[in-house]
Structure 1
Amino acid sequence: MAYDLQEQEQIDSLKLFWTQWGKLIGGAVLAVSVGFLGFKGWQYYQRTQAEAAAVVYSQLQDQLQAGKLDDVKATVELLERDYRSSQLAANAAMLAAKLAFERNDAGFARAQLKWVLAQSNDETLQAVAHLRLASVLLDDKQFDAALAELGSPHPAAFDSLFLDLKGDVLVARGDNNGARESYKAALAKAALDAPARDFIQTKLDSVGN
């Protein structure tokens, strides 16, 4: 009988507990379940987006190899519109900019490089985009704009490349004194075994060291 009484007390305690806390616990369990399902759903979405972007990027590579600039433009715009958060979209923009520049379509090249600078958080990719955009602007004789690009923040590993190109811009603008200092600084920043050292030295010699 004592056992039955003790058992009844436990049952009554459980009933009281669930009366007081049942909804809260149920809500917490539901929230955790929904959160887990939401996380899994987000993972699935990201995976399917990445796979779809890879298919489009593969098409782009074929178009680049064939040199079909119009097709490249359409495919890159698709990647930038539908898969803008994908690293492949930024890579595609860089490749499209290169082909466009080679085909004398400076406007499209500039637009793609600016898109990378606006969308990508990759410091290395941004540094390369600044360098390429400065080169396009130099080719267009937009010297001030090119120098502005070369004044952008970048990883220290790129210092020599930025200073070297700055020297090129200053030479084109007729500022040999400024170019000389820039080339000297580029040499100072370049690694001793850097392939570009000899070329930088040649340019420095050409402006008088």
Structure 2
Amino acid sequence: MDQNNPESKSVLCILLDKNDQSKYVFFTQKRSAGDINIGFTNGEDVWKTHLSEEILSKLYKTFALKSTEDYTFKLKCACKAGRAFVKLQEDNAVLHLGAEPTDLSLSLSKLTDSEGRTEVKDLLFKMADSLQQLESQGGSSSFSPVKSSQKRSSEFEPRQQKGPILAVRKRFPGDSLINPGTKRKKPATGVAFDDGDDE
């Protein structure tokens, strides 16, 4: 994967718990060539774990993965597909990434309040930075209010006609609707007879 791509170094996505529909921001942070931090937050509390190179190599063998990017991609897919769920405990949480017992599960420690605030602050700036990079690269950001309002307003505008434009002749008062260009005929009034001249 391209090392300039922030996606190869960290992953951010929404984790929707399949059991109670609670939302979390799921994240990974690649620390060096061999190990990563994995965590999630509900905006108030943060749970996090560190996976060393040794632990990751065991996971690669178990799940037939080739790299850290493959592993983080698997995590992200499980979160986005709605297969993940969280079991919160007092000082830790267990993240399950599937319904089967053989599926991956991770135990994460709950950070202290000050550590959690720092982590949420870092995530917030990371998200803002990635949005700024998208805008500078000319990527289409779905968060742009200008672009989304332009798209929304065009949905209700009349469609532009493709192909040659036909000139429409102006209809004058008295012209026929069925045969344009001919005068409308006045309705027949009948024949008037003079009855007074018969005497």
Q: Same fold (TM over 0.5)?
A: no
Structure with the bigger percentage of strand: 2
Q: Sort the TM-score into its range (normalised by shorter chain).
A: under 0.3
